[in-house]
Amino acid sequence: MSKLKDMPNVDRPREKFLAKGADALTKSELLAILLGSGIKGTNVKELSQKILRKFGNGFLHATVDELVQIPGIGKAKALQIVSALALARRIQEEQNSPDNLILSAKDALSLVSDLKDAKRENLVCLYLNARNALLKKEIVSVGTLDKSLIHPREIFAPGLEAHAAGVILVHNHPSGDPSPSEQDKQVAKRIIDAGQLMGINVIDFLIIAKNGSHSVLGELQNTELTNTEYVAEGIQSSLFDLMVDANQAYFYGVNNKVPENKGKKDALKFIDLFAGIGGFHVAFHNAGSECVFVSEWDEPAQQTYKHNFFKLSPEVFRSGNFVGDITKIKPNDIPDFDILTGGFPCQPFSQAGFKKGFNETRGTLFFDIVKILKEKKPRAFFLENVRGLYNHDNGKTFETIKRVITEELGYSFFQKIVKASDFGLPQHRPRLFMVGFRDKSINFKFPEPVKELKYTMSDIFGGKCDKEVGFTLRVGGRGSKITDRRNWDAYRVNGKIVQLGPKEGLKMQGFPDWFEFPQGISSVQSMKQLGNSVAIPAIQAVAEKIIETLNEYDQRK
């Protein structure tokens, strides 16, 4: 066996490439450049030839697991090869679809032709705009040899973020038979129903296999839903082989306890930024306002939000106005509104000064609020943050926020530290409320605190509690002993020590009886979401005052 270094330069793959270009090299020589080196007893050119002989025409779809079975190919090298192949396929797919238009099943299948040879089940979603141009292609699920898990949220969440009008789902049958099973039809119908709720049209379900392809939609006529639990039988793979809980196949299990929305057509409109699980939404809805846009980046919080507000504000979801990362949204894409609301995260301002304009707030989420206020010019805003913001950095942070809003945006600015207990809840939870109006002539007064608690901690637990007003709900540090100075969730009730849970937390924050956490959200996650939420009665009292102030102003004009 000759060593590569003993060959003439003209025969070495790298040197040959540089001298004559890629077209002068064989496939094995190109692969040799990727491999970099051979193994003991086999130079890199010979190793690459062995690999190509092993896979033949299937090399383009070789997997990491298959490559590492070859002596001398480690996981890192296998990953490098598979990544290069995937990149080549991706570029080829984009070039073979002029303007990325998908006008037929043939167009869609051309983008996923590699699926027919896949040895595991895959579900690929093609997200399209209103003119059928491809916005995004995403592998939503990759299963094992005999099953895969999928939920409607994995299908529609990327579509919502991309503002997709439609989606084509493509699933492979490793068995080689593209015929849809009865289970395929059942699950497909559930996904179509979820798409109708979401406002994303399910254009087609395609099954691809070695022996051809098939459209599931053509098989759905007169198909009725059953309560079947979807379990692969090992003979023919079904569309999503395993649906662990058939009851959760609907979009997030919309909370049917939510009351019907009887809002007025001329109601003031608000947007809910850094929305969490929707405390501002509840408060402003109760105050008679209509939500037209929501942004929340945390996925578990998104689930809770959608579960509870889809019935209350369906157009927000159907129109694609429920988004994740606000930093990726252009202000002009937000519908017109009257009031901006949000409990924005307080990130320290870098070297906050008093003469740097917007530069001093770049990189913070407050700057995204500024961009929206500057572009959309709503009539009012209502921001909430921790009390510590007021004195952060010796007050410079707060003064910068106030100055940017008043001097550079031209809004009025009113602030007050408000406690949840000021409006009847059994926790103090002091927060900084900031309110402003585009018309600086508007005089605003925060609502007066109520005199009595709506209920005590004994009411919360349904037993005699040793504290009338409880600890402020927090995000972390759960489970401390009741004697620990950091304890905030352990109470003595009827002489026994009990831990605060989601049921009690919802009531402490003032959420309505119909509000609930969806299945799949753990107790730990629920408490985290509650700790990040707002005290609804306090928010609602200010919301009512803002709306009352704007209405009185309109009447005077």
CB 341 within 8 A of CB 381: yes
Write down the catalytic residue from 125, 291, 346, 465. 346
**What pairing do the DSSP bridges indicate for beta strands 431-437 and 414-418?**
antiparallel
Distance CA(456)–CA(104), nearest Å, equals 63
Say which residues have a Cβ less than 8 Å from residue 507's Cβ, sequence separation at least 6: 455, 460
Distance CA(37)–CA(3), nearest Å, equals 11
Establish whether 346 is a catalytic residue: yes
Indicate the residue type of 301: A
Indicate the residue type of 459: D
* Chain CA centroid to CA 197, Å: 17
CB 535 within 8 A of CB 276: no
Number of H helices, E strands in the chain: 17, 14
Q: What DSSP assignment string belongs to 492-517?
A: EETTEEEE--HHHHHHHTT--TT--P
Distance CA(341)–CA(348), nearest Å, equals 21
Of 294, 192, 204, 181, residue with least CA distance to 251: 192
Q: Which two tokens stand for residue 165?
A: 């009008």
* Chain CA centroid to CA 77, Å: 33
Distance CA(99)–CA(340), nearest Å, equals 37
Write down the H helix ranges in 409-535.
457-461, 502-508, 523-531
Residue 489's DSSP bridge partners are none
Q: Which helix (H) or strand (E) holds 381?
A: strand 380-386
Residue 374 burial by Cβ neighbours in a 10 Å radius (0-12, 13-18, 19+): middle
Catalytically active residues, by annotation: 346
